[in-house]
């Protein structure tokens, strides 16, 4: 280990590339790091068990290390991200912008390896390097990837930087994937024009505020105002309306869809309270009911109550088995009376998954004259 906590290279050092006095500033993706940590803990690659620690004096009594202490130590090792024996394989993501494209592409791809990662003990440690806009920093990152025996994904708009990344990875023996390059080349060929090669933050890049941008802003503002059943008189202006009992994810789902340019309203179903009459006056194809398995909803509500510091009595009123069952039955009766609504089971589904289903069904039920942004009807 060197002074920064990185492992030293193997005895056979990688080929020499002119180094830079500058050291890259690494930004670790907290989202993917937590994902890696959770997968590692569940996979068994990082075991949490009681161990016996002895002092230098063999006759001294030994101390049992608690499960919590072991968990803290193992978790810290994973978050550090530089111990191959604990954290497993490493993946580097390099971008000349925020790194959103690289991060989400890798995250989506890792989702295809649930079985190996979770059940077979192959934890993955990911690192995001954003705003890498000079070649010296790029080379330093790739050299570090070689030391870590990591795989490298990069999204570099500048052809020169992209070329340098490939050459350095090939020379140092780093397995690499250019995520953005093939897409840019394909679009350039299709349009018959050359790409600018400018990064998103480049001074010479034109930044236009077009109609689509203002539609998204308008949609987000509308959605925030319509959250949790507020202003029911405006339901007719919504593109999409989400309904369901408390804690079925209506608010985060509404916000996510709104960022794509759709005006979304959400209406909670509360047992004993009739939904607003305006809800039944809108086009049924715009209304999407959210349902969820009872035990899952109960667990979500319990966690929420504990987070808010609710006492036991209040928690039982909010997450008690009988109460949750009655609320779900109440919502089911409303769904049954409105067969034109689409009801979606959101149990254990990511927001992106549910949103994709809603938007596909929304457009399947609309005509071509819709004013909201269009998405493909075939997946």
In this predicted model, what pLDDT tens digit does every residue of 261-314 receive, in sequence order?
A: 999 999 999 988 999 999 999 999 999 999 999 999 999 998 888 888 888 777
pTM given for the model: 0.58
* pLDDT above 90 (res 145): yes
Mean pLDDT of 62-80: 41
* pLDDT above 70 (res 122): yes
| Confidence band, pLDDT 50/70/90 cuts, at residue 121 | low
Domains 89-191 and 211-365 share a fold: yes
User: For position 213, what pLDDT does the model report?
Assistant: 82
Percent of the chain exceeding pLDDT 90 equals: 51
| Confidence band, pLDDT 50/70/90 cuts, at residue 132 | very high
Say which CATH class 89-191 falls into. alpha beta
Q: Are 200 and 133 in contact (CB under 8 A)?
A: no
Q: Which two tokens stand for residue 8?
A: 């030293």
Note the CATH architecture for domain 211-365. Answer: 3-Layer(aba) Sandwich (3.40)
| Confidence band, pLDDT 50/70/90 cuts, at residue 134 | very high
Mean pLDDT of 112-137: 83
* pLDDT above 70 (res 50): no
Interval 19-49: pLDDT, tens: 444 444 444 445 445 444 444 443 344 433 3
Q: Taking the domains of the chain in order of start, what are their residue ranges? A: 89-191, 211-365
Q: Which two tokens stand for residue 137?
A: 């920093």
- How many angstroms separate the Cα of 341 from the Cα of each of 105, 333, 347? 33, 12, 18
Average pLDDT score, the chain:
77
- How many angstroms separate the Cα of 131 from the Cα of each of 53, 98, 199? 45, 6, 9
Burial 173-199 (b: 16+ CB within 10 A, else e): ebebbbbbbeebeeeeeeeeeeeeeeb
Compute the distance between CA of residue 90 and CA of residue 151 in angstroms, rounded to an integer.
6
Cα–Cα nearest to 87, from 74, 104, 70, 103: 74
- How many angstroms separate the Cα of 220 from the Cα of each of 12, 206, 248, 265? 55, 24, 20, 10
E strands in 3-117:
51-53, 63-65, 89-95
Q: Which residue has the higher pLDDT, 109 or 111?
A: 109
Interval 183-228: pLDDT, tens: 999 999 999 998 888 876 666 565 566 778 888 999 999 999 999 8
Q: Lowest-confidence range among 3-17, 94-108, 210-224, 293-307?
A: 3-17
User: For position 66, what pLDDT does the model report?
Assistant: 44
């Amino acid at each position: 280990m060197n002074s920064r906590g990185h492992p030293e290279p193997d005895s056979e050092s990688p080929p020499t590339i002119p180094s830079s006095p500058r050291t890259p500033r690494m930004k670790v993706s907290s989202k993917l790091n937590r994902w890696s940590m959770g997968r590692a803990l569940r996979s068994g690659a990082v075991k949490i068990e009681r161990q016996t620690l002895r002092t230098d004096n063999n006759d001294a009594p030994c101390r049992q290390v608690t499960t919590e202490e072991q968990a803290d130590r193992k978790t810290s090792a994973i978050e550090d991200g530089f111990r191959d024996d604990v954290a497993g394989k490493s993946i580097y993501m390099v971008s000349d912008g925020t790194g959103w494209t690289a991060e989400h592409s890798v995250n989506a791809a890792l989702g295809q390896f649930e079985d190996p990662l979770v059940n077979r003990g192959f934890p993955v440690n990911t690192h995001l390097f954003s705003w890498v806009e000079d070649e010296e920093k790029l080379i330093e990152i790739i050299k570090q990837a070689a030391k870590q025996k990591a795989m490298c994904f990069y999204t570099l708009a500048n052809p020169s930087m992209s070329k340098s990344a490939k050459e350095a990875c090939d020379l140092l023996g780093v397995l690499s994937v250019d995520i953005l390059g093939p897409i840019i080349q394909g679009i350039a060929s299709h349009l018959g024009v050359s790409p600018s090669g400018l990064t998103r933050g480049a001074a010479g890049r034109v930044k236009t505020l077009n109609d689509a941008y203002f539609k998204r802003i308008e949609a987000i503002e509308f959605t925030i105002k319509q959250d949790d059943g507020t202003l029911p008189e405006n339901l007719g202006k919504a593109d999409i309306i989400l309904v369901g009992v408390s804690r079925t994810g209506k608010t985060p789902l509404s916000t996510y869809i709104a960022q794509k340019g759709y005006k979304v309203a959400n209406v909670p179903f509360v047992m004993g309270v009739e939904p607003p009459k305006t809800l039944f006056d809108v086009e049924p194809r715009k209304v999407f009911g959210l349902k969820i398995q009872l035990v899952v909803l109960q667990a979500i509500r319990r966690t929420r109550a504990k987070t808010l510091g609710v006492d036991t009595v209040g928690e039982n009123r909010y997450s008690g088995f009988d109460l949750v069952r009655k609320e779900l039955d109440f919502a089911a009766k409303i769904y049954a009376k409105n067969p034109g609504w689409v009801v979606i089971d959101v149990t254990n589904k990511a927001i992106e998954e549910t949103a994709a289903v809603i938007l596909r069904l929304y457009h399947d039920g609309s005509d071509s004259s819709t004013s909201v942004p269009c998405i493909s009807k075939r997946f």
